[in-house]
Amino acid sequence: MLAMSSLIKNLESKFPDMTFAEGPRAHWSPDTQTVYYDPKERHADWVLLHETSHAALNHHRYVRDIELLDIEREAWSYAVEQLAPQYSITIDPTFIETQLDTYRDWIHSKSTCPHCQSNGFERQKHNYCCPHCGSSWQTNIGIDVGIRRVISSR
């Protein structure tokens, strides 16, 4: 397995249009075309390949919550099939499932009515409505945003 620094060098030459920068939280920033990575986090190389995949697939940050899971799955598939083999990295499928489960839980909690706990539906992007009590509420999330908050509150 490549060290993190040589993996980044390799990715920089493969994707010359992207910037790779160390950040407090791994994520892809479409605004600045920058992939942020956190070398101290667990499986930082897998996460880096995942974020690079969001970039390579040109994912925008703000999508409907219901699309998030597909986008996450797509970025992991790309990382596993297109990127990891080039660097002799094997991404554990269990790790990916855990990440996707976290998204599932997170989306579920976002879609739960804050007043009556019924399951709401996403009427517009990040705007939910409760079919039971008529409440509506906003969420403000996108790809890889705030996900760590959910993990740490468990």
**Which chain residues interact with Zn ion by CB under 5 A?**
72, 75, 113, 115-116, 118, 130, 132-133, 135, 144
Tokens of 116: 């009556």
- We find the least distance from the C-beta atom of residue 153 to Zn ion, in angstroms, to be 19
Distance of CA 34 to the CA centre of its chain: 14
CA–CA gap between residue 30 and residue 15 (Å, rounded):
14
Nearer to Zn ion, 8 or 49 (CB): 49
- We find the least distance from the C-beta atom of residue 121 to Zn ion, in angstroms, to be 11
Q: Identify the DSSP state of 24.
A: S
- We find the least distance from the C-beta atom of residue 43 to Zn ion, in angstroms, to be 13
In angstroms, the first-to-last Cα distance of the chain is 31
Nearer to Zn ion, 6 or 33 (CB): 33
DSSP letter string, 95-144 = HHHHHHHHHHHHHHHHTB-TTT--B-EEEETTEEE-TTT--EEE----TT
Nearer to Zn ion, 8 or 35 (CB): 35
Nearer to Zn ion, 13 or 58 (CB): 58
- We find the least distance from the C-beta atom of residue 104 to Zn ion, in angstroms, to be 13
